[in-house]
Structures are given as structure tokens and as C-alpha cells.
Amino acid sequence: MIEVVNYTTRFRYLIQNSGSLLIGYLTAGFLAFIVSEAQPGVALIVVFGVVLGGAAYIGGTVTHRLTGDLPVFGVASVGGIVLVGLTIIVGGLTVLRAIGPLVAVSVVGVCFGSVMAWIVRNVPT
């Protein structure tokens, strides 16, 4: 894939091109992880995080457009903040333990592919 994206001999550009490849690997891996239901609790946490993040983004965008850059202050209880924090920490650790190998293999594979492509393109012939 690195060979197809853009032919360059510069290492910096090879790494940048590999970044798009990494995004594709991780997206496909996350979708396969969720669809396979190998660990339903972890998949539920991932889906919940994506929905919560999407809702926060949409809410922020709507608020930004409605208020015209005026700051908006929200009120929350300390217990609610602690509960959200604990959920993020515990859920995040669970997700990292389950999906960590996928991320590690993808990152190492893409970096190795970039280095090998750079070596092949810069070897004197």
C-alpha cells in the first residue's frame, strides 16, 4: 500500500503516507472487534465512547452556532464528575487491554513497512 499511495524517497513523507494506512488498519480492526462480539462488554464500552464523543461534538457545534462564540457555562455535581472520570479510567483500561495488541501490531507493522520501503527506494543500484 505504501508503494501505491505516493512514490517518494523521503523518509518523512513515507511516514506521513503510512499514517493514512494506519488509520485504515485501525478503523477496520475496531469495526471487526465490535462486529465480532468477541468481548461484548468491551465492544459496548467502545460504542458508548464513540456515541458519547459524537454527542459532545454535535452539542458543542450546535451551541457554538447558536450562541455566536459566547462562552457557555455548565453546572455539574462533583459526584457526576467523579463517576464520569472513573468510568473513563476503568473503561479505558479495559479497552486498552483488549485492543492494545491490535494497535501495537498495526503501528509496528506500518512503521516497519515505511522503513523497509525507504531502504528499498534508497539502496544504490
pLDDT of residue 44: 78
pLDDT of residue 75: 67
pTM: 0.57
Q: Low-confidence residues of the chain, pLDDT below 70?
A: 1-8, 72-75
pLDDT of residue 84: 79
pLDDT by residue (tens digit) across 32-55?
887 887 777 777 777 787 887 888
Question: E strand or H helix at 64, and its extent?
Answer: helix 40-67
Q: At residue 17, what is the residue type?
A: N
Helices (H) and strands (E) in the chain, counts: 4, 0
pLDDT of residue 5: 58
Tell me, what DSSP letter sits at residue 76?
-
d(CA 26, CA 34): 12
pLDDT of residue 108: 92
